[in-house]
Structure 1
Amino acid sequence: MRLATLAATLLAVAAAAVQPALAQQPAADTLGAVRARGTLVCGVSPATAGFSMPDSRGEWRGIDVDSCRAVAAAILGDATKVRFIPASTQQRFTMLQSGEIDLLVRSTTWSLSREASLGIAFTGVNFYDGQGFMVKRASGVTTARALDGATICVLPGTTTELNMSDYFRANNIRFTPVLIDNVEELRAAFIAGRCDAYTTDASSLASFRASQGANAEAYLLLPEIISKEPLGPAVRKGDWRFFDVVRWSHFAMLTAEEMGINSTNLATFNDSANPDVQRFMGRSGDLGRQLGVNNDFAVQVVRQVGNYAEVWERNIRPLGIQRGINNLWSQGGLHYAPPMR
């Protein structure tokens, strides 16, 4: 027998031996696990105002928090059935991969390398962002190009760190990174003057500035936006039933806004003659059951969490961030929900 033929035969035998083992491995069923547990476990940022942060009563608030609650409303019919787990930038992916959390919604950028190499899949974008820089107004710096030789506070192991290095290298700007793997300690270092500038997503910078109260005017957000940062939920790759529910929970909020449906007027649409509205309300078709949830899942999301505009007004507007590219596609923005039919 020729070597090539022998090698092919051995490979075929090995493949045949592996197939039964693979077939015996049960498919991931996060949807079933959430139902059995009665609670969704969601990984979020520990302290990012507008995105995920406990209020004075210990109640979690923010757009990422509301994304988690929307999924709980869709699966369990109760948006309060969520356990929020603070996830650091270094640990967040390991927590998702290991099953410590069901869902990661932590101002996390959707990128090729993350989706291709980490065994995770992003379900969509709940906030379109971009990386910026903040300095103390007293420094006199008004542009990122003037940061030559500066020290820059940045979270390690993030796309932020890579973007910063690429930007400064491309523009022949010298810099020294100050790497601190704790966002509160990082911000404290910036306030204390351990670094000349602080870089992260522009929304997070605005959140930090707003949290400074009367001292907010002491900080300046520079005009340069140096990257695309589509932020959104991530799940374990291969768990496609759960993936679909997370994705369509978000699309339900966008679709509701498009239709003019919100948490206060929802009941007035019960008798609508519009077929699209009837499907959205779960009064015709089987859209919910096709996802593995109740047909009124979109109603539960909107009733208990709100449409996307309500979520934005509640969490992001107070930061002073204009909606801009986070508007619906019909209003000049990037948010676009596929048809629910």
Structure 2
Amino acid sequence: MKRMIIATVLLAASVSGAAAATLDTVKQRGMLVCGVSTGFAGFSAPDSQGNYKGLDVDYCRALAAGVLGDAGKVRYVALTAQNRFTALQSGEVDVLYRNSTQTLLRGVTLGLRQGPVNFYDGQGFVVRRDSGVKDLKGLNGATVCVAQGTTHEVTLGDYGRANGIDWRPLVFDRPDTMLQTFFGGRCDAMTQDASALAGSVTTAAPNPADYSVLPTTISKEPLGPFTRNGDEVWSDIVAWLHYGLIEAEELGVTAANADEMTKSNVPAIQRLLGSAGDLGSRLGLDNKWMLQAIKAGGNYGEIFERNVGKASPLKLDRGLNATWSKGGLMYALPFK
């Protein structure tokens, strides 16, 4: 019996140590290492000064603010579709925020854990307006630019076979090369997430008015963060960061009013901002960690609108990314 108890205690200690590994590493390093894309407008792309901006970047900043108390303590690692998961598996990055689609195989074969979806998307197509193409059947026999190592590559083949469309994929290992090739006229169409297409046309096309994103999407692309299996505490922090940003939007807590809202007498707001309850400590963090995260860049609605919404060059509708109370799918688990 004594041996069994000792073994159980050692096992629990081992699991606890593994679960806390990334959080401890980030705190000791004093810097969050965040995996992002090599350049998707609206999600993660460097500006003219080399500073990363976008929805995924704002999640990295919010995470650094919550864990380290400083949104600026982030090092961004630009990853391609081919090396993104390997970089996370090897420990090169602490978390992957790189508009990556969550799927069954990715969830069960990579040794990684998929966090909550922070952007609902779908695979779309862009063509030149003067091509006369109005729908996907018009792409029969067309050359389609697509990125290698993505769900888009697989879905393109699946959809074509299922619907009798004989398109010819032209595969690229880098999105920037794909954009140059498409806008250079070598492909009849290009396929990506619809949000990425909007960003590509807005920021990379010689004349955006010359291009049209077709109205049909051919897949579900639930995008969200990835962490490593076995890092339960860290994975929980990444998950609850997202829920906290949604909860903040639901409760009307913004970057501008967050400090003032700590004086609220609404229990849900008190728990979210750490002025009541003891929730942050359960994650190994300060109880006001979400207060710091929200102050870094605002709630989910603010992050969306600034980077991809009507206040951005992409001007995307909220759609499925609206909160549940406004017809969308974004729904925060309760902070209690």
Q: Secondary structure at the match of 2:50?
A: coil
Matched, 1:81 2:73: yes
The Cα shift of 1:281 comes to 1.6
Task: For 1:269, give the aligned amino acid.
Answer: M
Secondary structure at the residue paired with 2:292? helix
Which of 318, 321, 332 is the matching residue for 1:323? 318
> Equivalent residue for 2:4?
none
Alignment of 1:1-80 (within 5 A): 27=18, 29-80=21-72
Q: How does 1:68-147 map to 2 (within 5 A)?
A: 68-147=60-139
Aligned partners of 1:324 and 1:275: how far apart in 2?
30
Residue 338 of structure 1 corresponds to which residue in structure 2? 333
Aligned match of 1:16: none
**Deviation, structure 1 residue 21:** 11
How high is the TM-score relative to the length of structure 1?
0.91
Letter in 1 for 2:38: P
Shift of 1:225: 0.7
Hey, what's the Cα distance between the residues in 2 that align with 1:35 and 1:142? 52
Instruction: Name the SS of the counterpart of 1:211 in structure 2.
Output: helix
| Whole-angstrom distance in 2 between the partners of 1:87 and 1:276 | 38
After superposition, where does 1:145-224 map in structure 2 within 5 Å?
Answer: 145-212=137-204, 215-224=207-216
Aligned to 2:5: none
AA partner of residue 27 (structure 1): A
Which residue pairs with 2:224 in the alignment? 232
Structure 1, residues 213-248: CA drift from partner, whole Å, max 9, x if none? 771111110111111101001001111100011111
User: 1:8 maps to which residue?
Assistant: none
Partner secondary structure for residue 195 of structure 1? coil
Aligned to 2:277, the other structure's residue is in SS state: coil
Structure with max Cα Rg: 1
Q: Which residue of 2 aligns with 1:5?
A: none
TM-score computed with the length of structure 2 as normaliser: 0.93
- The residue number in structure 2 matching 1:256 is 248
Query: Structure 1's 153 and 121: CA in aligned 2 closer, same or farther, altered over 3 A?
Result: same
In 2, Cα distance between equivalents of 1:286 and 1:193: 58
Change in 2 beyond 3 A, CA 1:189/1:298: same
Q: Distance in 1 between matches of 2:37 and 2:92?
A: 15
5+ long unaligned stretches in structure 2:
1-9
CA RMSD of aligned residues (A): 1.6
- Are the counterparts in 1 of residues 183 and 206 from structure 2 also a CA contact under 8 Å? no
Aligned match of 2:237: 245
Deviations 1:28-66 (A, max 9, x none): 510000000000101100111100011111111000001
For 2:18 and 2:204, how far apart are their aligned partners in 1?
47
Q: How far apart are the structure 2 equivalents of 1:297 and 1:187? A: 39
Give secondary structure in 1 for the equivalent of 2:26. helix
Contact map agreement 1:121 1:236 (CA 8 A) in 2:
yes
Quick check: 1:292 aligned with 2:287? no
State the Cα deviation string for residues 249-300 of structure 1 (Å, max 9, x = none): 1111111100001011112222211111111121111100011110001100
Contact 1:70 1:250 in 2 (8 A): no
The aligned residue for residue 9 of structure 1 is none
